[in-house]
Amino acid sequence: MIPASYYLILSAVLFTIGAVGLLIRRNALVILMSIEMMLNAANLTLVTYSRFLENIDGQVFALLVMAVAAAEVAVGLAIIVSFVRHRDTTDLDEINLLKG
Amino acid sequence: MEISIAPLNLLAIAPQIVVSVTALVVLLVGLFLPEEHRGRIAWPSLAGVLIAAGLLYYLWDRNDLTLSAMLRTDGYSLFLNLIILIAAALAILFSVDYAGRVRLPRTEYYSLLLLSTTGMMLMTAAVNLITLFLALEMLSIALYVLVGLNRAEQRSGEAAIKYLVLGAFSSGFLLYGMALVYGQVGSMALDDVRVHLLSTGSQSPVLLWLGLGLMLIGFGFKVALVPFHMWTPDVYQGAPTSVTAFMSAGTKVAGFAALGRVTLVAFSGLQNVWIWVLAVLAALTMTIGNLAALRQTNLKRMLAYSSIAHAGYVLVGLTAANRTGLDAVFFYLFIYAFMNTGAFAVLIAAHRLGSSPVAGENLDDLAGLAEHRPWLAAAMALLMFSLTGVPPLAGFLGKLYLFSAAVEAGLIWLAILGVLNSVVSAYYYLRVVVTMYMRDKKGAEVVPAPLCPALQLGIAVAAIATVFWGLWPASILNLVTITTRSFFGG
């Protein structure tokens, strides 16, 4: 059996990739995917612990998080579509009306 | 096989159920109303909120675990629910006229407002990491849409994108932190975390520390603590003003409720460590919030920075981590809901008096307000004085309790810093008063638009509340002490 630490390190790496991607990429769609990656990294951690602790809560939580992530992406895409209608771009560097 | 189902005890979460059902009913009713009558949806929404508030009174003495120990209805959650419902009711009153005028889709608007309220109310009751996260997402996702609901206005969409990206970013941190805590403790219940920490103490593994840290970052984003506050001014400025009024009070109450349960209950075993983290965050939040507010000329941005500073003051009370501190936090959040939503409501009224889409947002727009709208100017002046902390208004008492709790906990430097910050904040609050009373309106003549009665009522309630509870705080303080006594089990 593969030790738990492998899964945990993998999810930590995935989480970092997601977080860094969100900070350095400027395309709104890539940013949404980075958010998904962060949430799924957390899910992997939850499921890993759930398996190794033999406690079902983590798996249940992971399922609920998937539903939440789907809702978040649905809302995110809707907001981006409404932004694109105004600006015709998905580049977040074009967001510049609010400053000060 | 026999399946045992725990009794549901739905009565204990009846207020939340009433608000969420109202949200769904409102959404359905709106479908069948012609566009010009949709403004009336405000009234059933308000009725739902008031019924829920009535149920709080009925449930007052309870201390129940419901839904398989996922939620706890106790004085802590009931009192904070009261604040959230007050903020929601005020926001609905402010929206009656405003939502129609800036052409928000009103059916969705009121429905989402109520759903977000439900999320906040559930968050105050959550005693399990799962419900905590789900409630937080419920309130956040509804707010993402609300912030971007003014589709004619580009800034609203920009604010929504910023809020969504940073909100989801913080949710990611929060969730990862929860996963790490779960892994070390083996349970999602906050009580189990507490029991686990009592046995291990500060010998806890590094992953548990990391989990707590990530969760604090997540909550820090939600209640806008420095250095996680960057989104606040942009989102508050871009969102429809009635939404800003609601979220500035509601999310703070819900966020602090969760932060309180996590720090004071779950992680009470590590108190000597997180106190210092929170103390540093509080000091940074107060100072940077106030300094940044000094140079704002846009009132919505100024109030956004001021709300950051106020989050810092509240955090001082939480840092004290004793009963006096929690008393002060509750009292302050209660007062703050009136002061802050009221101040935003005055901006809504000022918007009504101008003609451009950003009327009422700039400091200059308030020039000469005292002359042609004396009552509105007087209400704004009261709210500004209360936010500064001028006696005998409620804001003064709130700050007094917060800072004396810090002194009691031995954090004298934090109390001194808080007082200094209040002095700095006087500059930008009083500048508003000076602009209203000392400067004359230049150029365009005043639009003689009458204000909507609901808006007038809301502003009057907010202004009177700051005076009333400044002079007679005993009624609320009694409630607060009963609440915190049950929370600390004394």
pLDDT tens readout for residues A10-28: 999 999 999 999 999 888 8
pLDDT of residue B276: 92
Residues of chain B with pLDDT under 50: 490
For residue B1, is it within any domain?
no
Name residue B180's amino acid: L
For residue B185, is it within any domain?
yes
> What ipTM, to 2 d.p.?
0.95
B211 interfacial to chain A (CB closer than 8 Å): no
pLDDT of residue B71: 92
pLDDT of residue B201: 67
Q: Cα–chain-centroid distance for residue B123? A: 12
For residue B429, is it within any domain?
yes
Domain of residue B249, residue span: 10-487
For residue B119, is it within any domain?
yes
Model confidence at A100: pLDDT above 60: no
Task: Identify which of B110, B84, B15 has the alpha carbon closest to the alpha carbon of residue B56.
Answer: B15
For residue A94, is it within any domain?
no
What tokens were used for A34?
């980075």
Helices (H), B261-373: 271-294, 299-320, 323-353, 369-372
Please say whether the beta carbons of B268 and B191 come within 8 A.
Answer: no
Domain of residue A17, residue span: 4-89
Of A18, A78, A100, the CB nearest to B172: A18
For residue B335, is it within any domain?
yes
Report the distance separating Cα B215 and Cα B107, nearest Å. Answer: 35
For residue B461, is it within any domain?
yes
pLDDT of residue B4: 67
Domains held by chain B: number: 1
Which residues of chain A are at the B interface, by a Cβ-Cβ cutoff of 8 Å?
8, 15, 18-19, 22, 28, 31, 35, 38-39, 41-43, 45-46, 48-49, 53, 55, 57-58, 60-61, 64-65, 68, 71-72, 75-76, 78-80, 82-83, 86-87, 92, 95, 97-100
For residue B5, is it within any domain?
no
What tokens were used for B183?
């892994």
Domains held by chain A: number: 1
Q: Tens digits of per-residue pLDDT, B185-213?
A: 999 999 999 999 888 866 778 899 999 99
Look up the CATH number of the domain holding residue A17: 1.10.287.3510
pLDDT of residue B357: 76
Residues of A within 8 A of B157 (CB-CB) are: 79, 82-83, 86
CB-count burial class (<10 Å; 0-12, 13-18, 19+) for B105:
middle
For residue B75, is it within any domain?
yes
Phi and psi angles of residue B230, each rounded to the nearest 5 degrees, phi first: -55, -30
pLDDT of residue B398: 94
